[in-house]
Structure 1
């Protein structure tokens, strides 16, 4: 069976980490009868990994809009028919166009298109909001047009059936897996004393790019609330560049409030830098309005770091008891949660232990890749 894996939409962020895991364990697909072909964006970390992987053929596409369009509507079909492709699997992102007698499978992480009751783009300027909604419409249509969908969130899978009537027999929920690099580091053996005394400051990690959904704009007010509570040994470490316009605006506001020393912008990091980043952190914070999932969640559990997260349906459906839930719109409540973790070692350790328990229910990177290919193989054999 010949399968074309589409990694073109994945260029950075959490998707890059997932794709890195996938590439490292992709060889087992050959044992299941798959001949593997991959398309990706040129000169990305994913492209560099693929060059060194044992894969039949890698097609690298320039990131320009014109190059992607030419690939999608011309070169793509040449690949399909020249190599007798049976299945096209888009790991994340819009599906490539359908081709006759070719099974199309997509992995979906677009949480907001399955939560229409949430006004996801509410805080965006009108022009950007209209563009974002148009993109969402395109993403929804290409997702539902696929022959099958792989979800990383059970709530989204159920909503695809209940809201959009997508056949449940053509979808599956597969839990994410933690990064191979963290597992190789044997992170679960980190001692409590190491966790609490890495630095004189307690770093709260926000592993994210800039997006209003992430609520980074609340950081100056959270820092101000911490300062009022007498907590002055905490620093927020954020993985966006200090030159980013969003970071500059936060720094300016923090200076106005007299709390600029609470903010630390370090820029983007590669999957290979994650271990050290988590080791140097005291806790992890995720204040998103919506997520299908987030690598931050399982990585915090694997690295024995407590997780502070939005008190919302999507978060509770994933984390159960393995997180400290807060009102993302209340800076005072977020600051109180951080203070409680600092003051209460029993609370801290209980959250860590719950995270380890929750993590034990998740597949390894190898197991997750196998589950994906097993699902695709079943569909193909059924002639879906």
Structure 2
């Protein structure tokens, strides 16, 4: 049986954290567990999970120096001492000092693949250059890996067209709802109400375009946006955008939420929204479908390829028509929810996704 190092150190929040916890939930009862060591951040929910479930792990300080330790020394050293056959990074790149074994990485940096999108265009010149240099380093490190896992056929196709990874072996392991969110399937349907609560479950990143929603919400006083942002510059930008249009009362910030609290938050809203400039695959999509909530998305090719008819598409540059489209979608939400169930049925279950990862690891 292969000895495997599961590198979860790059994972800290959001959908990546949900999927990491889902992976660990299945590893607990897996006979292969004794042949696995997991790398995690110290004092994280992932470390707590490993400790609670007797999963072998090594914790590394959550800091820049901790990251350097993993990249420059620890990944190779642990692989050598553990006599690992495979070094698997769930989301991230191959370590800078490559382990002397098979390396597999889950690649979710869609902006590197879809290079025609000016992903960092909102930044000042020098900050943009720094981000682009970091992306070049991520690409370089990923190219050094043996196998790269993408989340959608769309990204694989784009990577092949753009020759992003040269001759690297690419494979697709499709997304699935995290196993820690099984409660979503049991949530009651939203209660009928004049006020429509719309949830944007996301961290603070300008490419999420949350600050652009005020332009749309100004046209319907019954729309209320719920966000999950930490205190900081981006939240201030969002707040100011709603203040500018005189609709501050239509914005509610819940603050960051833990993965376990996601079902209860979704249960209190009528719809979910994601209008990001670019995503690899959004957990928001499957969360909306699993919970029978209306899904509102941006009109982009990457979204169409994954959501098909299971969402209402809006043009965020046309606030008035976008508001009308959302209002009409609420009136016909049953149809979108039916399509959501259909799209969900085409995706693997959390257990199937876990098994697909092991198929790649053992290939």
1 CA distance for matches of 2:235 and 2:71? 35
Alignment-derived partner of residue 371 in structure 1:
356
SS in 1 for 2:120: coil
SS in structure 1 opposite 2:57? strand
Matches within 5 A, 1:1-384: 1-27=2-28, 29-31=30-32, 35-55=35-55, 57-97=56-96, 99=98, 101-164=100-163, 166=165, 170-183=169-182, 185=183, 187-192=184-189, 195-197=190-192, 201-226=195-220, 232-241=221-230, 243-342=231-330, 344=331, 347-378=332-363
Instruction: Quote the Cα distance in structure 1 between the aligned partners of 2:286 and 2:252.
Output: 23
Asked if 1 retains the 8 angstrom alpha-carbon contact of 2:146 and 2:168, the reply is no
Q: Distance in 1 between matches of 2:321 and 2:252?
A: 21
Note if contact 1:98-1:104 (Cα within 8 Å) is conserved in structure 2: no
| 8 Å Cα contact 2:312/2:329 also seen in 1 | no
Cα distance, 1:91 vs. partner? 0.7
Q: CA deviation at 1:168?
A: 7.4
| 1:295–1:168 Cα change, 3 Å | farther
The 1:364–1:317 alpha-carbon spacing in structure 2 relative to 1, beyond 3 Å, is same
1:299-322: CA deviations, max 9, x gaps? 100000111111111000001111
- Do 1:30 and 1:36's aligned partners in 2 also have CA atoms closer than 8 Å? no
- 1:243-297 Cα distance to aligned partner (Å, 9 max, x none): 3222223223322321001101111111111111111111111111111101000
CA contact (8 A) 2:93 2:106 kept: no
Moved more, 69-78 or 130-139: 69-78
C-alpha change, 1:88 and 1:201, in structure 2 (3 Å) is same
Once residues 254 and 211 of structure 1 are traced to their aligned partners in structure 2, the CA distance between those partners, rounded to angstroms, is 17
CA distance in structure 1 between the partners assigned to 2:265 and 2:164 by the alignment: 42
**Structure 2 CA distance, aligned partners of 1:29 and 1:47?**
18
Q: Provide runs of 4+ in structure 1 moved above 6 Å.
A: none
Scaled by the length of structure 1, what TM-score is found? 0.89
Q: CA RMSD in A?
A: 2.0
1:21 touches 1:179 (CA, 8 Å); kept in 2?
yes
Distance in 1 between residues matched to 2:342 and 2:65, nearest whole Å? 48
Unaligned runs of 5+ in 1: 227-231, 379-384
What is the number of residues matched between the two proteins?
362
1:337 deviation in Å? 2.0
Aligned equivalents of 2:46, 2:343: Cα separation in 1: 29
Change (3 A) 1:160 1:252: closer
- Kept after mapping to 1: 8 A contact 2:113/2:164: no
